[in-house]
Amino acid sequence: MKTLYSLASCVILILAATGCGDSNDKKSTGPTDPGVQDADYAIMAMIFSGGEAGMAKPAQTPYIGAMVSVFRNPGDNANVDDWPMQQATDVKLIGAREIPLQEMSFGDYFYYYTPEDQPLAPGETYRLRLTIDGRTVTSTKTATAMEPLRITTEDYQVIDVGQSFEVAWTNVAHTAGYAVAVAYWDEDSWDDEPDSETVILVGMNTRHTLSGSLFDQDGEYGINVIAYGESIAPHIANWEHWAHDIPPVYEFDDSRILGTFFAVSSDEITLYVGEEGDDWDDRDDWDDWDDHDDWDDWNDDHFDNGPTGQIPVTVSSGTQPEISWSGGNIMMLMVLADGSDGEMWYLLSTTGLSSPITYGNVPAGAMEMVPARPLTPGTRYQVIVVGEEGEVGMAMFTP
């Protein structure tokens, strides 16, 4: 599901990829490096600046924090994409402050992030230190936290097929350059990943005109702008999408550890192209959706419900509804609004959240990544939950 794909990309790593050389629109190619299979572990680690959970919108609270994940070489597979995640201990940022990172686990998935009560500030510089199976390693380069980048181009615009489009954004201190990623989403199949993605290096410019050749079919496109730090600038021209891959860079003080520690700042907007975009803009089809009586069948047809199936979710009436589900505890709850309002509420937990939860009330053990915003009567909303084993549930509601 697209929403969950975007969330995972932000919680784990930013979508970024590159071609090399000038700022022409081009497909990224990605490296091959036989040394990758010789590493014992791979570390994906960054300081990320953006909106809450990476989906920056003006109404949301800016977020600056570290996000880390570790992968273990199983010994029989040179493809890093297939390496299993590895639990680490004593994961810390080392700099002006020493900040222990908190663990978030979902079954066999392990992530580490800065605690809510110790946010990072722009200009702060850190190294990363962590222990993996008794081996303590430290990044050889520092990463400097950036202020959140903001795209100033209007969100949710509709253009014609083949029309060029200019995207502009705010200047970000401590950046070594900017990249723009354009992803096409096939809404008919609701793919977990974009059907195609192009990433363009734009240097230090804070605006770029995207060629109309990128928008060659009807549908929805995501435009993401990424500011990247000095520590990764030398490697940018050789990276493919490292939201799903790890570049062959060894920048920890153990030569058997693959990875680097870097800083990025990002924001994204949605663009609708062609007739399909016009239909979305007019919202002519919402009455059909409102009349849809069997959301469970619709979910089964359109969403990846995880390894153990869908979580049934129900929402009561009113502007502070009670959200309920069955099947055990959940690790994530998100409420989204149609249109440009984006995230309305977002909770995470490392220990599990039990049903029910009243909208706006933060239960014990939960981290409120996006504070609850008032719900508007008559407006359509979506609630998404993710269980302890990665299973997914969704419900639509209108207070």
Binned average pLDDT, 10 residues per bin, the chain of 399 residues: 32 29 32 62 90 41 84 79 89 95 78 85 96 97 94 93 96 94 69 66 95 93 91 70 61 91 91 70 42 43 44 92 92 81 80 92 83 88 87 89
Taking the alpha carbons of 306, 312, 317, 320 in that order, is the dihedral positive or negative?
Answer: negative
Give the whole-angstrom CA distance, residue 244 versus residue 28.
14
pLDDT value at position 298?
41
DSSP assignment of 24-92: ----------GGGGG-SEEEEEEEEEEEGGG---TTSPEEEEEEEEEEE--SS---GGGPPB---EEEE
pLDDT value at position 199?
83
Domain ranges of the chain: 2-273, 286-397
Give the whole-angstrom CA distance, residue 171 versus residue 173.
7
What token pair was written down for 12? 């784990």
Number of H helices, E strands in the chain: 4, 24
Give the whole-angstrom CA distance, residue 95 versus residue 141.
12
Taking the alpha carbons of 257, 331, 243, 98 in that order, is the dihedral positive or negative?
Answer: negative
pLDDT value at position 244?
45
What token pair was written down for 188? 């008919």
Q: How many residues does the chain have?
A: 399
What token pair was written down for 51? 């909106």
pLDDT value at position 276?
55
Q: Which CATH architecture has domain 286-397?
A: Sandwich (2.60)
| Three-class secondary structure of residue 150 per DSSP | coil
Is the distance from CB of 268 to CB of 7 less than 8 angstroms?
no
